[in-house]
Structure 1
Amino acid sequence: MKLVNVQEMKQLDQLATAEYAVPGILLMDNAAQAVADAVNDSLDELDGESVVVFCGGGNNGGDGFGAARWLQNYGARVRVFVVGKALDAVTGDAAAELAMLQKTDAKVEAIAGEDDWVVAELAAAKADILVDALAGTGFHGEPEGDLLRACRLMNDSEKYIVAVDVPTGVNADNGAVAENAVRADKTVTMA
């Protein structure tokens, strides 16, 4: 196995879509299914279990939207919170995954104010498992603002956490871990 840095992974994704005609949405959906399978493997019985997915507005969030849809198909009760972006501001393949998710009965809502944070905290407290699909490999530095608050919310919940690509707050190129990085129990990476 060869480990790649963030730029090399982006180049491999571009190569898959341009040279081998694999649509980006298919790459994202394959990643999403892998995340859902990892969540399923982390629980004894997924049917009826409560899963809360925290998504950003980029491709990592798109993986989270897709994972939520797969989890819904597997019988989980799913709730999705979008952090840092309005639902109608999500673009690209992530927007396509979001649109597919919104066709299910999963609850999907953007965190836009203090009342939304209270709802997210309550949902996380009642959840059986959390999914971190906030920032992924594009993150550098320290989480700030809503991203910081979401990281703290997940960590303070003391729930089992599955991270997509890399826990939010971890630099995928050098492994530097921010003080408030998500403390994931399992991380699902794709190549």
Structure 2
Amino acid sequence: QHKQKPNRMALGFYTLKGCFMSIIKSALGRDEIREIDRKAIEEYEIPGIILMENAGRNVAEEVLKMLPETDKARVAIFCGKGNNGGDGFVIARHLYNKGVGVSVYLTTAVSSVLSDGDASTNLKILLNMNLEIKELQEGHIGEIGKALHGYNVIVDAIFGTGLRGEVKEPVRTLLAKINETDIPVVSVDIPSGLSCDDGVVLGTAVKATKTITFVAAKTGFFKECGKEYTGELIVSDISVPKELIKFT
């Protein structure tokens, strides 16, 4: 199955009235998204781990639609250190529970994630389930391309909307290796390496087949290189109170 780069913009899980222009008009930047998250957690008292669970479960459901029979399907999930990686851990759990062969690749040391925080909690759950977590070593990144050929889908949960500086090695090489495959890639919230606000590629970025973004589309999706890297766009409802989105 070859990687598709659809031009259409799809809306999943909830529908924004109107079409493409409505999606653009409702797009939000990094600071606006961060403020929505803050208010949801602090003012509405929604634990961040619930938002992470909703995000990860929604992505897992979309990935399942892309797979053949689940007892034969394999998915590689690349996770970073922050909340984007935490979403990836949730995705791994849900896919594993559906019978999918899951491989979790961590771009940092396990020990660096196992501190306080929602991502830490979800990583601990995977470890308690005895799922193998593979730490990517700098000297072996070049070999990852061969290892990926047995997978049906790649999930990109490395960097989220908070990325500002250029992607550094060895992750830079990893993103390039992912792009060299013909395997469909699902990016979580935003393709890793793409600037949330202006759509600039920060050194290198994942060219996603499908981007499942949360709460609202990001302004960078419609600027510079954004459209080229996001692929099919799905806006996913993670149960943030609608008032927060309406009055942002």
Is TM (by shorter chain) over 0.5? yes
Contact 1:170 1:181 in 2 (8 A): yes
CA separation of 1:93 and 1:119: change in aligned 2, threshold 3 A: farther
Check if 1:58 corresponds to 2:91.
no
Distance 1:59 1:104, change over 3 A: same
**1:58-91: CA deviations, max 9, x gaps?**
11111111111111112110001111x2101114
Alignment match of 1:89 (pick from 112, 132, 148): 112
Q: Give the Å deviation of 1:29.
A: 0.8
Provide the aligned C-alpha RMSD in A.
Answer: 1.7
Higher relative contact order by CA 8 Å / sep ≥ 6: 1 or 2? Answer: 2
Percentage of identical aligned residues: 36
- Residues 1-191 of structure 1 mapped to structure 2, 5 A cutoff: 1=16, 2-83=26-107, 85-90=108-113, 91=115, 92-115=117-140, 117=141, 120-178=144-202, 180-191=204-215
The CA deviation at 1:124 is: 1.2
**96-105 or 39-48: bigger deviation:** 39-48
Question: For residue 135 of structure 1, what is the amino acid of its counterpart?
Answer: F
The question of whether the paired residues in 2 share the 8 Å contact of 1:77 and 1:106 is answered with no
Whether the aligned pair in 2 keeps the contact of 1:165 and 1:190 (CA below 8 Å) is yes
User: How much has 1:178 moved relative to structure 2?
Assistant: 4.2
Measure the CA separation in 2 of the matches of 1:164 and 1:16: 20
Corresponding residue SS for 2:214: coil
Q: Which has the larger radius of gyration?
A: 2
CA contact (8 A) 1:52 1:123 kept: no
CA contact (8 A) 2:86 2:120 kept: yes
In the TM superposition, what whole-angstrom CA distance separates every residue of 1:87-143 from its partner, at most 9, and x where no partner exists?
Answer: 01114111111111222243212113424x366434312111100001021123432
In structure 1, runs of 5+ residues without a counterpart are none
Q: How many residues align?
A: 189
Is the 8 Å Cα contact of residues 81 and 120 (structure 1) preserved in structure 2?
no
Q: 2:69 & 2:160 partners in 1: Cα distance?
A: 27
Question: Contact between 2:175 and 2:205, CA under 8 Å: does it hold in 1?
Answer: yes
Distance in 1, matches of 2:150 and 2:100, equals: 14
Structure 2: which 5+ residue stretches go unaligned?
1-15, 17-25, 216-248
User: How far apart in 2 are the matches of 1:178 and 1:67?
Assistant: 25
Contact 1:32 1:63 in 2 (8 A): yes
Alpha-carbon separation, structure 2, partners of 1:111 and 1:135: 15
**Higher fraction of helix:** 1
Question: TM-score with structure 1 length normalisation?
Answer: 0.91
C-alpha contact 1:51 1:78 (8 A) present in aligned 2:
yes
